[in-house]
Structure 1
Amino acid sequence: MSFTLAIVGRPNVGKSTLFNRLVGKRLALVDDQPGVTRDLREGEARLGDLRFTVIDTAGLEQATDESLQGRMRALTERAVGMADACLFLIDARAGVLPDDEVFAGILRRKSANVILAANKGEGSAADAGVLEAYGLGLGEPIRLSAEHGEGLGELYTALAPLIEDAEAEIDAEAAPETDVDIEDDGEDEGETLRMPTPARPLQIAVMGRPNAGKSTLINAILGEDRLLTGPEAGITRDSISVSKDWQGTPVRLYDTAGMRKKAKVQDKVEKLSVSDGIRAVKFAEVVVVLLDAQIPFEAQDLKIADLAEREGRAVVVAINKWDLEDDRQGKLKALKEDFARLLPQLRGAPLVTVSALTGRGLDRLHDACLSAYKVWNRRVPTAKLNRWLAGMVEMHPPPAPGGRRIKLRYMTQAKTRPPGFVVMASIPEKLPESYRRYLINGLREDFDMPGTPIRLNFRGQGDKNPFKGRKKSTPSRLRKHLGKGPAGG
């Protein structure tokens, strides 16, 4: 387990900017508006030769425990308790405020290792704030500029001994207390024992409209309140990723911001959140489209499912808040009919009912994700494909525009994730879209590929010859034998 550093402080002191600087990429949303970060975001940080886990936290605010700000503060305090060290940021230009003094006292009680840093420390305007920071009783402040990368050398100096001590402690705990004799029969001399490599985590993104229960669902899977939840719509802003061994399957779950209709999205931060969620889809392998059982298959739900299909992800549709339903059999039948009618491009994709609040249905959701992933990776042998294509053509021949029959000569699978196929045709540009759909539907049914996006392209004879149209040239060996000079001579 790597050393963990939590970055804490008031809103808008530059925590997310420093987080992005340490992980070397723009993972956390950054804006001048305070309170953009709400959940805990983890990243793998690099500082010189130091490697550690860094946690970006919500801004510390004095608020009641029941309020959104109070729940954000509780989540941040939990991160403080989990971390090996805390980096307490203040705004050097604003100086030490009363809230800084309150939270400095909290950190002294809750964290054994606190590093104080005065951010936005570039220029003479920050001099007074850096001097005031000494009064917090947390030692000498590091003068930082997260935006410009200044002061990172001093941060390295403060972190290095803490990380070294933590690693030494881990090594000491891992060392066996007594020597164990291992019998050697001499047969395996020279062989090296290798531990099995753990499977790569399955990437799952949970998407849906605001207040569909995405964060609550992921908390239920994790078995802990890791993500911020509540009755307010639109709590999640960043696309937060967390790892978990889910019923024996290593997974990485992405919680995304709720997506409203584009016309309703006016706030800059909400626009950034939606863009971050769309970016999470590109990293995912399986997308769980989470619907509210009370108002399922709204226009926005259909757009989200269509987005996942267009991006070529394996899709699972989950109906949340199922615990509130009375006539479950009747509702489920209606939902399946609506699904087949409204999302024909995902025909056959898994549809499961869950209750994120009670945890019921999570086993079905787990199995549905694995099933969708398996289909998404399916490959069909070329010989089998061509026998199938001949049967499809015989049953329903391609059209003959202008009396000229279109010939489908050969078919192969070019890729998986999602399955992609290529058909060589005599005049592919004349094939109507209806015939493409006919073949795609046949692939789904005959090769057991329900619900997954299928890519089918038609190519002409000339498309497969990369040398068509190029001038022929005499090989150099023949030129020498014929007594010719360089090419063109």
Structure 2
Amino acid sequence: MGAKVAIIGRPNVGKSTLFNRLVGKRLALVDDTPGVTRDRRPGEARLGDLKFTIVDTAGLEDADDASLEGRMRRQTEEAIAEADVVLFVIDARAGVTPLDAHFASVARKTTTPVVLLANKAEGRAGMPGLYESYSLGLGDPIAFSAEHGEGLADLYDALKPHVDRVSDEEELELAKADEARTGIELDEDGELLEEEEPVGTKERPLRVAIVGRPNAGKSTLINTLLGEDRMLTGPEAGITRDSISVDWQWREHHIKLFDTAGIRRKARVQEKLEKLSVADALRAIKFAEVVIITLDALVSFEKQDLQIIDLIGREGRALVIAVNKWDLVEDREAAWAKIRDANERYFNQVRGVQICTLSGIQGQGIDRMMESVFTAYEAWNSRVSTSRLNRWLERATASHAPPAVAGRRVRLRYMTQPKTRPPHFIAFCSRPEQLPESYTRYLVNNLRETFNIHGTPIRLSYRKGENPYAVKKKRKIQ
């Protein structure tokens, strides 16, 4: 396993910008507001021939342990304890602040090697702060600019004694591994590309995103799954901002979990930072294979829940509904009746979706939820042979014939399935533009029941068959 490098420092000194620079992607949210990062975010970083895991952390603040800032500091302290090297970042333009000096004294007491970075040191404005940082007692500072990439050579020299170098052979293997992971990319229709590798292996973990409204218990659920306080939790709504991915193993299956920010109604999202957080959550849905939407059992199935479910259906992802905080429900029979009614009335696009009741904080119902995840994934990968499809089409049209328009009946001649993930069917017919939406719903629901494709969206599109007499008519005209 490669070395771990933790980035620490007070809020708003450029830690997330440095993280994005080293991983080569805009993974962490960056904004001028102090305290954007709250959870630990790991990423695979490269610097020349050095390969390591970089960990972005929350800004260090001197606050009470029970407060949100205090809980964020504990997350940072855990990252320091796990790290092989610590990058202590200060703002060279602001100079050394009392908070920098306070936490530098803490860093000096750790046995972990510390590298001091004077960030934002481009130009002359950062020179006084650079010289002032010698007083922190953390060795020679590196003049750095995470925004412009200045000082990377000096950072390479500082990390080289502590981080593994990659040989030419390993470089080739890494390139092949990156190429093999292109299944995360989307095809021209916006669907996930199909992959031949078996899902649930270490090389190919199942990607599961956990989404929902704020304060539905998403981070608490992930902490229970991992068996540790990996995600920042608390009574405050909207604690999570970044979409954080963590690796987990359930039974023999390898899974990559994505914790996401709570998604509120679009009209209520006004601040730029919350817009970035919601966009990050939507991106996690787009690249997931199965999405678990967590509902608060005490206020389940609000309009926003239904809109999130509709969004997941439009993105074409397998879905599992987890009704969290079930241990707090007093009249469970009435609550379950309400859930069942909503399932029958509103979930047209993912009819038959798996609904699980659980308690994220107590760990009740976890196995049932994960079994539902793999059941939904199998339905998402369902493939029906062309011969079975056309036998079904013959029976379905005989039982309920397509409507006649202007005295002429629309004829469905042939059907095939070109794609899975989600299942996509194409029907060839005489006048597809005249088929009403109600008949499409009839066919989709019949497909779902006949071939047991529950808990996943089904795509059904039409193509107009060629008229065999059209060429003869043209010849007569000529």
TM-score normalised by L of structure 1 = 0.87
Residues 353 and 455 in structure 2, CA contact (< 8 A), matched pair in contact too: yes
Residues 317 and 422 in structure 2, CA contact (< 8 A), matched pair in contact too: yes
Structure 2 match to 1:254: 258
Q: Amino acid of the residue matched to residue 100 of structure 2?
A: D
Residues 390 and 414 in structure 2, CA contact (< 8 A), matched pair in contact too: yes
Q: Give the Cα separation in 1 of the matches to 2:18 and 2:263.
A: 27
Q: Per-residue deviation at 1:341?
A: 1.2
Verify: 1:120 aligned to 2:124, yes or no. Answer: no
Count of residues in correspondence between the two structures: 437
Q: Per-residue deviation at 1:199?
A: 5.0
Q: Give the Cα separation in 2 of the matches to 1:57 and 1:414.
A: 45
Q: Per-residue deviation at 1:87?
A: 0.3
Q: Give the Cα separation in 2 of the matches to 1:58 and 1:441.
A: 48
Q: Give the Cα separation in 2 of the matches to 1:78 and 1:406.
A: 66
Structure 1 match to 2:274: 270
Choose 1 or 2 for highest CA Rg: 1
Q: Per-residue deviation at 1:197?
A: 7.0
Residues 80 and 111 in structure 1, CA contact (< 8 A), matched pair in contact too: no
Verify: 1:32 aligned to 2:32, yes or no. Answer: yes
Structure 2 match to 1:472: none
Q: Per-residue deviation at 1:249?
A: 1.4
Which stretches of structure 1, 4 residues or more, deviate above 6 A after TM superposition?
A: none
Structure 1 match to 2:69: 69
Q: Per-residue deviation at 1:253?
A: 0.7
Q: Per-residue deviation at 1:259?
A: 1.1
Match for 2:397 among 393, 396, 399? 393
Q: Amino acid of the residue matched to residue 278 of structure 1?
A: L
Percent identity over the alignment? 59
Match for 1:228 among 227, 232, 236? 232
Structure 1 match to 2:91: 91
Structure 1 match to 2:153: 153
What per-residue deviation string (whole Å, max 9, x for no partner) do you get for residues 198-235 of structure 1? Answer: 45111111111110000000111111000000000000
Query: Greater CA deviation, 330-339 or 157-166?
Result: 157-166
Structure 2 match to 1:185: none
What per-residue deviation string (whole Å, max 9, x for no partner) do you get for residues 406-442 of structure 1? Answer: 1111100010000000001011111111111110000
**Secondary structure of residue in 2 paired with 1:344:** coil
Change (3 A) 1:217 1:70: same
Q: Give the Cα separation in 1 of the matches to 2:111 and 2:302.
A: 47
What per-residue deviation string (whole Å, max 9, x for no partner) do you get for residues 98-146 of structure 1? Answer: 1111111211223421110100010111111111111111110011000
Verify: 1:23 aligned to 2:23, yes or no. Answer: yes
Q: Give the Cα separation in 2 of the matches to 1:302 and 1:400.
A: 35
Q: Amino acid of the residue matched to residue 260 of structure 2?
A: T
What per-residue deviation string (whole Å, max 9, x for no partner) do you get for residues 275-306 of structure 1? Answer: 11101101100111100000000011111111
Q: Give the Cα separation in 2 of the matches to 1:218 and 1:312.
A: 23
**Secondary structure of residue in 2 paired with 1:62:** coil
Q: Per-residue deviation at 1:342?
A: 2.3
What per-residue deviation string (whole Å, max 9, x for no partner) do you get for residues 26-81 of structure 1? Answer: 00000011100001111111111111110000000000000000000000000000
**Secondary structure of residue in 1 paired with 2:6:** strand
Q: Amino acid of the residue matched to residue 204 of structure 2?
A: R
Q: Give the Cα separation in 1 of the matches to 2:431 and 2:339.
A: 41
Q: Give the Cα separation in 2 of the matches to 1:228 and 1:298.
A: 25
**Secondary structure of residue in 2 paired with 1:385:** helix
Q: Amino acid of the residue matched to residue 268 of structure 2?
A: K
Q: Give the Cα separation in 1 of the matches to 2:355 and 2:73.
A: 36
Match for 1:285 among 285, 289, 302? 289
Match for 2:303 among 274, 280, 299? 299
**Secondary structure of residue in 2 paired with 1:411:** strand
Q: Give the Cα separation in 1 of the matches to 2:442 and 2:247.
A: 40
Q: Give the Cα separation in 1 of the matches to 2:342 and 2:382.
A: 27
**Secondary structure of residue in 1 paired with 2:60:** coil
What per-residue deviation string (whole Å, max 9, x for no partner) do you get for residues 171-197 of structure 1? Answer: xxxxxxxxxxxxxxxxxxxxxxxxx97
Change (3 A) 1:140 1:462: farther
Q: Give the Cα separation in 2 of the matches to 1:94 and 1:5.
A: 25
Q: Give the Cα separation in 2 of the matches to 1:198 and 1:242.
A: 13
What per-residue deviation string (whole Å, max 9, x for no partner) do you get for residues 441-489 of structure 1? Answer: 001000001121000001001499xxx9xxxxxxxxxxxxxxxxxxxxx
Structure 2 match to 1:7: 7
Q: Once superposed, what is the RMSD of the aligned Cα atoms?
A: 1.8
Q: Per-residue deviation at 1:93?
A: 0.4
Match for 1:432 among 413, 429, 436? 436
Q: Give the Cα separation in 1 of the matches to 2:467 and 2:89.
A: 59
Change (3 A) 1:164 1:383: closer
Q: Per-residue deviation at 1:320?
A: 0.4
Structure 1 match to 2:416: 412
Residues 81 and 111 in structure 1, CA contact (< 8 A), matched pair in contact too: no
**Secondary structure of residue in 1 paired with 2:8:** strand
Structure 2 match to 1:312: 316
**Secondary structure of residue in 1 paired with 2:221:** helix
Change (3 A) 1:463 1:75: farther
**Secondary structure of residue in 1 paired with 2:237:** coil
| Unpaired runs of at least 5, structure 2 | 168-199, 472-478
Residues 3 and 166 in structure 1, CA contact (< 8 A), matched pair in contact too: no
**Secondary structure of residue in 1 paired with 2:209:** strand
**Secondary structure of residue in 2 paired with 1:115:** strand
What are the within-5 Å matches in structure 2 for residues 205-224 of structure 1?
205-224=209-228
Residues 83 and 112 in structure 2, CA contact (< 8 A), matched pair in contact too: no
Q: Give the Cα separation in 2 of the matches to 1:11 and 1:105.
A: 17
Q: Give the Cα separation in 1 of the matches to 2:426 and 2:220.
A: 42
Q: Give the Cα separation in 2 of the matches to 1:437 and 1:111.
A: 64
Q: Give the Cα separation in 2 of the matches to 1:455 and 1:164.
A: 47
Structure 1 match to 2:377: 373
Structure 1 match to 2:461: 457
Q: Amino acid of the residue matched to residue 23 of structure 2?
A: V
Match for 2:242 among 238, 244, 269? 238
Change (3 A) 1:165 1:313: closer
